Amino acid sequence: MVTAVAAGAALRDWRPTDPGQRALREAFLGFLAARPADACLRSCEPGHLTASAVLLDHDGRNVLLTLHPRVGRWIQLGGHCEPEDATLADAALREAEEESGIDGLILDPGPLHLDVHPITCSLGLPTRHFDVRFVARAPEGAQERISEESVDLRWWPVDRLPTDTDCIPELVSLARTRILPGSVRR
């Protein structure tokens, strides 16, 4: 299971260049320090860490988004940490493979972006997701399969993203700088 220690180590090693993301990283670390026993468990009612992945195709020209049943919008793949996940990156990769139906994804192990959002998740109570977002790339020729957790899956050209999204354009832009040849890693 992802522990507060493991999650904290991943966040402390990450060096965001954006001041807002640096401040959010400090807030996540504060939350982990305040809730060391349950910050990564969905049973933590005040909120809990989740992990997601912006999944780009092999060429970085398309992003796979899911039409989330509870949210009702196109979002990146992701979800709760499970007992078999040793790290947040493990959770993001597992969620991306489960929700996309694609094996052999390559995940950059460093966080890409952080977000906190209110949601009513599986607890049935209003809570917050402290989402740690990663970037993944699909193998060449990958074919998605809709899972039980998605209403729909669709590859979207990175320059023609759906309009009913919050931060998908920003995430895709960040993800593309991370994976394209010649890009600078942060």
98, with CB counted inside 10 A (0-12, 13-18, 19+), is middle
**Each residue of 164-179: pLDDT tens digit?**
787 999 999 999 998 7
Domains of the chain with CATH codes: 4-179 (3.90.79.10)
Of all residues in the chain, the percent with pLDDT exceeding 90 is 82
Distance CA 28, CA 18 (A): 15
User: Does pTM top 0.85 for this prediction?
Assistant: yes
Distance CA 186, CA 155 (A): 26
Of all residues in the chain, the percent with pLDDT exceeding 70 is 95
* Whether residue 108 has pLDDT greater than 50: yes
Question: Which residue type sits at 104?
Answer: G
**Each residue of 116-163: pLDDT tens digit?**
999 887 667 889 999 999 999 999 999 999 988 778 999 999 999 998
185, with CB counted inside 10 A (0-12, 13-18, 19+), is exposed
pLDDT at 179: 79
